[in-house]
Amino acid sequence: MLDLRLIRHDPDRVRRGLAARGDDAAAVDAILGMDRRRRELLVQVEELKAERNRVSKEIAEIKRLGGNGSPLIALMRSKSGDVRTLEQEVREVDDELEAALYAIPNLPADDVPSGLDENYNRMVRSSGSPPELGFSPKPHWILGTSLGILDFDAAAKMSGARFVVFKGPGARLERSLINFYMDENEKAGFIPIQPPAIVTREALIGSAHLPKFEQDQFKLANGDLFLTPTAEAQLTNLHRDEILEAATLPRLYCAFTPCFRAEAGAAGKETRGIIRQHWFDKVELYAVCAPEQGPDLLERLTAQAEHLIKALALPYRITLLCAGEMGFAAAKTYDIEVWFPALGKYLEVSSVSLCGDFQARRAAIRYRPAPGAKAEFAHTLNGSGLAVGRPYAAILENYQQPDGSITIPEVLHPYMGGITTIQHRGSEEAIK
């Protein structure tokens, strides 16, 4: 959430930031109008309360002198009724103003490239080259199905479209990626967290997934609860309504959760295979910090996510996203993209963002810059490090052999129980 004082005192900056994202800058004028109306109402409320108090004192004095204060009592009651009416109007304007503020995205940082689509993203660095396979590469969904390690038909019988069943060494490979990621992140100083997979509406509002993106969430029938779209939601709320001491910052966390997304707006976007599913596993990186620590931590979290991909020996590149490509809560974002031979292009496998105080305002996460100092809003960062399905698919495509088998990246061998190659032996043999 943006600071209302920023919108009030520097509306042109907010308009420019929204326009850079491709959002309607007219929302600024609507918010300013609500803010003015709210302040006018508050002045009227205070004036009426002052008048009511003055009348109340007059009544008390009249009664002290033995007089009848009935006419003034009627006037005081009328004033009290007017106060209640105006206070209700204030609450209604407050609700409208809060909803409008919740709908405004974060503003791009000064060094974020201008532009509304991926053509304006800026490549930062790359590593490795697309492999020379020497044969026509197959897409990961064909490889996985023929090896018997990915079963889309079984998943459809259980859960419908956009799900998969991992089988045999395929299930072990998925689990090995999770364990490798969590182990490496813990070695790098990130505290491991295993949060619940169900979150409240308040938690999703705090992380900025609600109310704007409710159509993308899986809501449970019993209560105002949701399946988590990402552990970013839980980690944002780990310190909700808390004041942290500066000496304890930054706080670095990594969490593994299953993630669930309706993907309501994702039609036509790599929906084949396991690139964009309703359920996927993800290891999340997260940081809570003082404002001055944010830029360096963005580089640190990006480097950590990059380390995980580099260890898998997958060709990748890192791009700085333009304003129009960033997520709702982000002020600056790096994407890590991996080469997919069958698709013939790079696809994002990790996204690391600096959010400033945008989430902290919503979740009331504050810190005390010095002992006894006034508490201020902390800054937050998040990064998918990594969404497991995409590196999994990239491994199948980049490590495929002419006979359809898949060699396992060396760094995963300790997690694979002695399996170094997933052989093409038919679906029944592949799961043994």
Smallest CA-to-CA distance from 174 within 398, 391, 338, 426 is with 391
- Tokens representing 126? 């790359």
Please list the active-site residues.
Answer: 261, 276, 348, 351, 390
Tell me, what DSSP letter sits at residue 324? G
Q: Which residues pair with 406 in a beta bridge?
A: 400, 422
Identity of residue 251: R
Smallest CA-to-CA distance from 101 within 10, 39, 30 is with 30
Q: Which residues pair with 383 in a beta bridge?
A: 285, 352
Q: Are 318 and 336 in contact (CB under 8 A)?
A: yes
Q: Are 332 and 107 in contact (CB under 8 A)?
A: no
Q: Rounded to the nearest 5°, which phi and psi values hold at 321?
A: -75, 145
Q: Which residues pair with 353 in a beta bridge?
A: 333, 382
Return the SS3 of 330: coil
Q: First vs last Cα of the chain: how many Å apart? A: 51
The beta-strand segments (E) located in 246-344 are 251-260, 279-289, 316-320, 332-340
User: In the structure, how many helices (H) and strands (E) does the chain have?
Assistant: 13, 17
In whole angstroms, give the CA distance from residue 432 to residue 428. 7
In whole angstroms, give the CA distance from residue 261 to residue 281. 11
Cα 89-92-95 angle, rounded to 5 deg: 150
Edge-to-edge strands, sheet with 379-387? 122-127, 316-320, 332-340, 345-356, 379-387, 279-289, 251-260, 191-193
Cα 390-396-400 angle, rounded to 5 deg: 155
CATH 1.10.287.40 domain position(s) in the chain: 4-102
Q: What is the pLDDT of residue 233?
A: 97
CB neighbour list of residue 297: distance below 8 Å, 6 or more residues apart: 250, 287, 289, 354, 381
CATH 3.30.930.10 domain position(s) in the chain: 118-430
Q: What is the pLDDT of residue 268?
A: 53
In whole angstroms, give the CA distance from residue 41 to residue 36. 9
- Tokens representing 35? 């803010």
Tokens 């209302």 found at: 4
Cα 287-292-296 angle, rounded to 5 deg: 60
CB neighbour list of residue 150: distance below 8 Å, 6 or more residues apart: 140, 141, 144, 164, 165, 166, 167, 170, 274
Question: Exposed, middle or buried, 241 (CB in 10 Å: 0-12/13-18/19+)?
Answer: exposed
244-288, pLDDT tens digit by residue?
999 999 999 999 999 999 975 555 556 689 999 999 999 999 999
- Tokens representing 164? 């998969």
1-11, pLDDT tens digit by residue?
999 999 999 99
Q: What is the pLDDT of residue 81?
A: 81
Tell me, what DSSP letter sits at residue 118? G
Please tell me the chain's helix, strand, coil percentages from 3-state DSSP, rounded to the nearest 5: 45, 20, 35
Q: Are 144 and 405 in contact (CB under 8 A)?
A: no
Q: Rounded to the nearest 5°, which phi and psi values hold at 178?
A: -60, -50
Q: What is the pLDDT of residue 386?
A: 80
Spans of the chain below 50 pLDDT: 426-432
CATH 3.30.930.10 fits 118-430, yes or no: yes
In whole angstroms, give the CA distance from residue 409 to residue 391. 11
Q: Which CATH class is domain 4-102?
A: mainly alpha
Tokens 């919108």 found at: 7
C-alpha 300, offset from chain centre: 18
The per-residue pLDDT of the chain, averaged, comes to 92
In whole angstroms, give the CA distance from residue 302 to residue 333. 9
